[in-house]
Amino acid sequence: MNFNPLSTVHIQDLKAMVAADRFSTGASVLKLHAKDQSHHRGCLPEAVIWPTDRLEVVEILKYANDNRLPVVGWGSGSSLEGNPIPVKNGLVLDFSQMNCILDVREEDFQVDVQPGVIYQDLNEHLKYTGLFFPPDPGARATVGGMIANNASGTRTVYYGSTKDYVLKLTVVLASGEVLEMGRRVSKTSSGYDLPHLFVGSEGTLGVVVEATLRLVGLPEEFSAAVVTFPSVEAAGKAVSAIVRYGLNPAALELLDSACIELFNREKALGLDLSPTLFLEFHGPSIAYLSEIMGMAEEICRENGSLAFSPGLGRDERNRLFEARHELGEMVVRAHTDCRIQVLDVAVPITAYPDIISMARQEADAAGIQGYAFSHAGDGNLHLCLAGRKDEAGDWERIDRISQRMVSKAISLGGTATGEHGVGIGKRKYMLAEHGSSLEWMQRIKSLFDPNGILNPGKIFP
């Protein structure tokens, strides 16, 4: 696709569409929108615009499409695969000012939101209703970004990912056409499932301007435990067994000893330096949870656990999961002279012990500092690799590790990306994972965005 650079006329026309303080070509603003939290190289957009309603989005996209200007949607920039990096420059649509909670229907367990709402702020708003929006990617992600990426997180094993909570979407297409899809019901057999076509599309098919989300009730009780193991392999086998026996943990996180060392250093948690499982169960009563926790302990003992510490209070549980959410930032702080690449693969649960064992072996064999951690209950593994910024040899080894890990995951029936999306970094694996269906994805892209202006340079090789 050939795109036009923003001319003086384009800039004047776009500025006229919004209030003066909601359009910028300033160097500092452009720099803030050039890069997400990934290791990928940033690219400066030519302008940033902040819409506040769907009509402005319609006008902006229609103009961009007519003038062949590339457009990238921007939530909070917390993504990890270069998903919102404006690789073709052009215009960034920053949705931080479209951040209204439009309606809460408590008795229907539903909420209507604009795309710029931060999911933690949404849950803070909802907490007095006894409801919450479960997907929990950790960073201060926007709902629009979570929909674009089908975000998930620590509670996915029990509650599911973002796609499981999207009931209805209002999307603006590249042409400026407004498309409303889905219904405010928990199920429907009526027609094609268009909302879920847009969930995970990374803003390449259209721009979400409103969403109706399903909510669930806050759990009555919870119980948490910390379990240590002699090896990640043993911990991986325990994970597989816990899932196989249907214990339904609300969170099941596995961290290797390198991660635990960081936790102790920064948060003074005093954990044993061993591969560790964080377990959490939700349920209607303490008695129910006590029985489930007893079964979990038995399974862990059968798989060689060194210690099982149940009955964590809410404060201690919050400290552990706060540390878990901050792990990526801890890795960055521990390696100020390095860039960090985060691998993100997922495999069937039976293959999980193999993939986590391979991750640790690959990092050690390459002499690269690695931190293996995962949403273990759904087979989603992350491997943080620290490479020196100016050392080409480090990055050649990291690239080889990445290729082997992704190839292994795909060969096991898994995926190149469990939750971070394709973005820039995983495009080269799309054909291996999807085969001939990739061509049909490209046809769908051409149907909704024939001029290719929406987030170009993403998903497709």
Res 318: pLDDT: 83
Residue ranges, comma separated, of all CATH 3.30.465.10 domains in the chain are 101-217
Q: Is 308 helix (H, G, I), strand (E, B) or coil?
A: strand
Res 62: pLDDT: 98
Res 277: pLDDT: 96
- 21 burial type by CB count under 10 A (0-12 exposed, 13-18 middle, 19+ buried): exposed
Q: Is 322 helix (H, G, I), strand (E, B) or coil?
A: helix
Res 320: pLDDT: 85
Q: Retrieve residue 239's tokens.
A: 């994970």
Res 18: pLDDT: 98
As a whole number of angstroms, the distance between CA 300 and CA 75 comes to 40
Look up residue 21 and give its DSSP letter.
G
Report residue 388 CA to chain centroid gap: 25
CATH for the stretch 101-217: 3.30.465.10
- 418 burial type by CB count under 10 A (0-12 exposed, 13-18 middle, 19+ buried): buried
As a whole number of angstroms, the distance between CA 68 and CA 10 comes to 11
Q: Could you tell me which residues are beta bridge partners of residue 180?
A: 170
Element (H, E) at 341: strand 338-346
Mean pLDDT, consecutive 10-residue stretches, the chain (461 aa), reads 95 97 98 95 97 98 98 95 97 98 98 97 96 92 97 92 98 98 94 97 98 95 93 93 92 94 92 94 90 95 95 80 89 94 94 92 94 92 94 95 96 96 96 97 98 97 92
Res 294: pLDDT: 94
Q: Between β-strands 131-132 and 216-217, what pairing exists: parallel, antiparallel or unpaired?
A: antiparallel
Pick the closest to residue 22 from 72, 89, 97 (CA basis).
97
As a whole number of angstroms, the distance between CA 109 and CA 111 comes to 7
Check if the beta carbon of residue 86 is closer than 8 Å to that of residue 30.
no
Res 407: pLDDT: 97
Q: Between β-strands 91-94 and 47-49, what pairing exists: parallel, antiparallel or unpaired?
A: parallel
Q: Is 283 helix (H, G, I), strand (E, B) or coil?
A: strand
As a whole number of angstroms, the distance between CA 137 and CA 170 comes to 23
Res 3: pLDDT: 97
Q: Is 320 helix (H, G, I), strand (E, B) or coil?
A: helix
Residue ranges, comma separated, of all CATH 3.30.43.10 domains in the chain are 8-96
Helix, strand, coil shares, percent, the chain, to 5: 40, 20, 40
Q: Does domain 221-324 have CATH number 3.30.70.2190?
A: yes
As a whole number of angstroms, the distance between CA 51 and CA 223 comes to 43
DSSP of 35-69, one letter per residue? --SSSSPP---SEEE---SHHHHHHHHHHHHHTT-
Residue ranges, comma separated, of all CATH 3.30.70.2190 domains in the chain are 221-324
Res 317: pLDDT: 81
CATH value of 335-434 in 3.30.70.2740, 3.90.1150.10, 2.40.50.460, 3.40.367.20: 3.30.70.2740
Residue ranges, comma separated, of all CATH 3.30.70.2740 domains in the chain are 335-434
CATH value of 8-96 in 1.10.10.60, 3.30.43.10, 3.30.70.270, 2.70.98.10: 3.30.43.10
Question: In sequence order, which residues have a C-beta less than 8 Å from that of residue 316 and are 6 or more positions away?
Answer: 224
